[in-house]
Amino acid sequence: MDDADYAVKYADGAPKGDVPGKIKQAMDARFLKGASGLFVSGGYTYRPESDNSLLSVDVGAESYLTSYLTGRASLMGMGSEDDWFTGVDAGLRLQTPSRLAPFVGGGVYAGAAHETVDASGDGIDNDDDGWIDEYREEKERFSGAFAAIYPEVGAHFWWTPQIRLTSYGRYMIATEGRDADDWMLGIGLAVFSKR
């Protein structure tokens, strides 16, 4: 492995006949303390109360506070044909210090909601095409602030010492009440380095 901390720790390595030692060496990811990186993830959000679904994109930074605890912050957008939300997301994840690392975590999301509504009778040229109130003309409008806290579960898999794949599930508990709660499933890719 090309990680300096790992190379020092396992310079001699486990003997060839020590199968448990070889497995431990292959799974060990305790060298991650102090690593930080950037990630991108995408997901699918479903609101059972309204049969509404949204696609989400999340871009941010994550840091290993210890080998088993990360902190992250990102910009997140969620949208569908008619509604979209933009905001900031932050959270912590507690995980095993291993190459395949299941985790539990929690976080917060705060953003603004926008929606597309009919504008065929408002007396304004909303789409700047020179016509006022044409058939099926639409406009976007601010529909309020949106905030949520969430628990999450998932797993990381280290493809290489720098590249990590992630899958996760969240239950977004909205400040607007249980009718606005969402289930979110997502996958992500992160690239890490140590200074």
**130-174: pLDDT as tens digits:** 656 556 666 566 667 788 999 999 999 988 878 999 999 999 998
Burial (CB count <10 Å: 0-12, 13-18, 19+), residue 91: buried
Higher pLDDT, 191 or 80: 191
**What phi, psi does 193 have (nearest 5°)?**
-150, 165
d(CA 181, CA 55): 15
Distances (CA, A) of 51 to 46, 56, 115, 116, 179: 7, 16, 16, 17, 11
Q: In this predicted model, what pLDDT tens digit does every residue of 74-110 receive, in sequence order?
A: 999 887 766 677 899 999 999 998 888 999 999 999 9
> Residues of 119-140 as b/e, b for ≥16 C-beta within 10 angstroms?
beeeeeebeeeeeeeeeebeee
Give φ, ψ of 8 to 5 degrees. -65, -45
CB-CB contact of 187 with 167 (8 Å): yes
pLDDT of residue 158: 87
Percent of the chain residues past pLDDT 90, beyond the cut: 39
% of the chain beyond a pLDDT of 70: 66
pLDDT surpasses 90 at 181 = no
Q: How confident is the model at residue 180 (pLDDT cuts 50, 70, 90)?
A: confident
Q: Which domains does the chain have, with CATH numbers?
A: 33-110+146-193 (2.40.160.20)
At residue 38 the predicted structure's pLDDT band, cuts being 50, 70 and 90, is very high
The per-residue pLDDT for 179 is 76
Say if residue 34's pLDDT is above 90.
no
Q: Which of 2-11, 67-76, 82-91, 171-180 has the highest mean pLDDT?
A: 67-76
Question: Residue 53 — pLDDT band, cuts 50, 70, 90?
Answer: confident
With bands split at pLDDT 50, 70 and 90, how would you rate the model's confidence at 191?
A: very high
Q: What is the mean pLDDT of the chain?
A: 80
pLDDT at res. 82:
64
In this structure, are residues 190 and 62 in contact, taking their beta carbons and an 8 Å threshold?
yes
Q: Give the list of residues 6+ apart from residue 120 with CB closer than 8 angstroms, or none.
A: 133, 134, 135, 136, 137
> What's the pLDDT score for residue 59?
97
Q: ∠28-31-36 over CA atoms, to 5°?
A: 125
